[in-house]
Amino acid sequence: MRRDVFQAIADPTRRAIITLLALHAMTPNAIAEHFQSTRQAVSKHLRILTECELLHQEPQGREIFYSLHMDKMKEIDIWMEQVRKIWESRFSQLDDLLEEMKKGQL
């Protein structure tokens, strides 16, 4: 099943994993040490993040290292910037309206 990047970041554990991997690549066991859930639960989160192409797997010997796929993170940033512009515009309109109301009352 193809998952959406926004579906992946909706979960707080997955967001925490992304934050960990923003620093450097890690093995599943190293990631799991940061959580009080089972190794299997962490593996499920890693699978979802990998399916969404937010993580990249790189085998090194018998270990697999996960790292953040920054290009995919840019999709989130682009969407957030669009939403930010909409809200900034609305706040600006509200500021203008409040200023007009103040001038009308003085």
- Using one digit for the tens of pLDDT, what is the confidence trace for 65-90? 999 988 888 888 898 899 999 999 98
Average pLDDT, the chain: 90
Region 59-64 average pLDDT: 94
- Measured in degrees and rounded to the nearest 5, phi and psi for residue 67 equal -135, 160
Cβ–Cβ under 8 Å, residues 15 and 35: no
Model confidence band, residue 6 (pLDDT cutoffs 50, 70, 90): confident
- 1.20.1250.20, 1.10.1060.10, 3.20.20.70, 1.10.10.10: CATH of 5-105: 1.10.10.10
Q: Output the pLDDT for position 2.
A: 64
**Residue 22 pLDDT level (bands cut at 50, 70, 90):** very high
Question: What is the C-alpha to C-alpha distance for residues 24 and 66, in angstroms, rounded to an integer?
Answer: 9
Q: For residue 89, how many other CB atoms are within 10 A of its CB?
A: 10
